[in-house]
Structure 1
Amino acid sequence: MSANPNLAELVSLLGDSSRAAILTSLMDGRFHTASELALAAGVTPQTASFHLGKMASGMLVAAEKHGRHRYYKLANEEIARALETLLSISRPAEIRSLRQSEQMKALCKARTCYDHLAGKLGVGLTRAMLEQGWIEEGDGEYVVTTAGGRFFADLGLDLPALRKERRSFGRICLDWSERQHHLAGSLGQAIVARLFDMNWIERAASGRAVVVTEQGREGIKRYFHLEWK
């Protein structure tokens, strides 16, 4: 008997299209009910609950019960990272309707990747920070420069506190739609949280897509020197 982790079990959990759709929906980093995830996957709530139970047993998702409802999210950041890697090597989904086409365009333009920004917006902001000399590429991580320290403090981020978190600080993440890198880790999470707080971005009506507000366009241009259209 092999002492290696049960890869076959993991692959079987990921090999179902409904489960894959549920996991992709959970990439926004938030809690969702089985009914919400059922709608996203195009299955009944009962079927979604069955799949969620299997994935909870396989430690892909975590559940919390509040009152009569049970809420689900990805088990941890490592699961989100693995899913993002798989998405980057997967073939593009077949577009079968105008609605799917619009959803895909919105995701590619700006979305959350678990707890940080991705898509054209995430890649664009990362590139802008590199060009301004606020971050530099290190060994698997982005490193904040002295000028970057002043910039992030001006943006309202507490870098010393972020560095103390028990996770990667400025992880380099491969963007599955842009095929370029964007900023993740505790710094990436803090940036997206700050942009939400300042009302520079807001969540789209459904899914992981985010929308840059008019206030955000001005702020992104002023702070990041990036023209966003």
Structure 2
Amino acid sequence: MKEGPDIARIAALIGDPARANMLVALMSGKALTATELAAEAGITAQTASAHLARLLESGFLSTRKQGRHKYFSLASAEVAGVLEALMGLAAGAGHLRSRTGPRDQALRRARICYNHLAGDMGVQMFDSLVSNQYLASGEGQLRLTETGRTFMAGLGLDIDALAAGRPALCRECLDWSERRSHLAGSLGRALFARFVELDWASVEKATRIVTFTPSGARQFQAMFGG
């Protein structure tokens, strides 16, 4: 009998089209009800309930109740990272579910990946942070440098508080459209939340597209454009 992690079981759970659609819908970072997820998957509420039970049992999802409603969300950033990597493999192999168009271009330019910025602008930000030596890698670990701490403090981020929590402060996430890294971890989450707080950007929850205001785009380019 073979030993080790059972990736075939995990792949089978994700590989069902209805479950895959529900998981991708939750990549927006927003918690959704079973009814909303059933609509995303194009299945009945009863069928969705069975799929959600399997995903919960396997540790893909977490739930919380508010009033009469039960909400589902991805269990962790690690689950989101796996889904984003699979999207990259699918895109690289030409397995796309629809024709490209303006909305696809917008999704590739900037989108939310669970709770951090992805797409061309996410990769641009990551490359800028590395080239300015705010981020450094070594021994397979991504870390924030002292100059990076000063830079983030200037944006109003409390790095000590972020580093004390979960998940890791800095983590690379493979971008499915760019096939290059963008920034995940608690720092990636906090940076995007700060952009929203500053009214630089907003998220279209139905598609995960991130739209920058003209002023926000200028501020972003001034900070990460070179």
> What are the ranges of 5 or more consecutive residues in structure 2 without an aligned counterpart?
none
Aligned to 1:44: 44
| Contact kept? 2:112, 2:203, Cα under 8 Å | no
Q: CA deviation at 1:71?
A: 0.7
Aligned amino acid, residue 13 of structure 2: L
Q: Secondary structure at the match of 2:64?
A: strand
- With normalisation by structure 1, the TM-score equals 0.87
Quick check: 1:204–1:210 contact (8 Å CA) kept in 2? yes
In structure 1, give the amino acid aligned to 2:169.
Answer: F
How do 1:186-205 and structure 2 match up within 5 A?
186-204=186-204
Aligned twin of 1:215: 215
Match of 1:81 in 2: 81
Q: Give the structure 2 partner of residue 9 of structure 1.
A: 9
Displacement of 1:203 in angstroms is: 0.8
Partner in structure 1 of residue 155 of structure 2: 155
Can you list the C-alpha shifts for 1:156-215, whole angstroms capped at 9, x where unaligned? 111122121233211122111101111111111110111111111101251222111122
The worse-fitting range, judged by mean Cα deviation, of 171-180 and 212-221 is 212-221
Structure 2 counterpart of 1:137: 137
Change (3 A) 1:116 1:169: same
Q: Distance in 2 between matches of 1:191 and 1:172?
A: 14
Offset of 1:120 from its aligned partner?
A: 0.6
Per the alignment, residue 173 of structure 1 pairs with 173
1:94 paired residue number: 96
Q: Which residue of 1 aligns with 2:108?
A: 108
CA distance in 1, matches of 2:115, 2:214: 23
Paired residue secondary structure (1:210): strand
Post-superposition shift, 1:220?
Answer: 0.9
The amino acid of 1:157's aligned partner reads: L
Equivalent residue number for residue 19 of structure 2: 19
CA shift digits 1:48-99 (9 cap, x unpaired): 22211221122211122222221100111221122222222223443546xx
Supply the AA of the counterpart residue of 2:53.
G
RMSD over aligned CA atoms reads 2.2
Q: CA shift at 1:154, angstroms?
A: 0.7
1:107–1:71 Cα change, 3 Å: same
Number of equivalences: 224
Flag the 1:50–1:161 CA change in 2: closer, same or farther, 3 A. same
Change (3 A) 1:25 1:173: same
CA contact (8 A) 2:28 2:208 kept: yes
In structure 2, do the counterparts of structure 1 residues 103 and 51 end up closer, same or farther at CA, with 3 Å as the change threshold?
A: farther
Query: 1:108–1:177: 8 Å Cα contact kept in structure 2?
Result: yes
Q: Which runs of 5+ in 1 are unaligned?
A: none
Q: Report which structure shows greater RCO (CA 8 Å, sep ≥6).
A: 2
The SS at the match of 1:143 is strand
Deviation (angstroms), 1:5: 4.1
TM-score, length-normalised on structure 2? Answer: 0.88
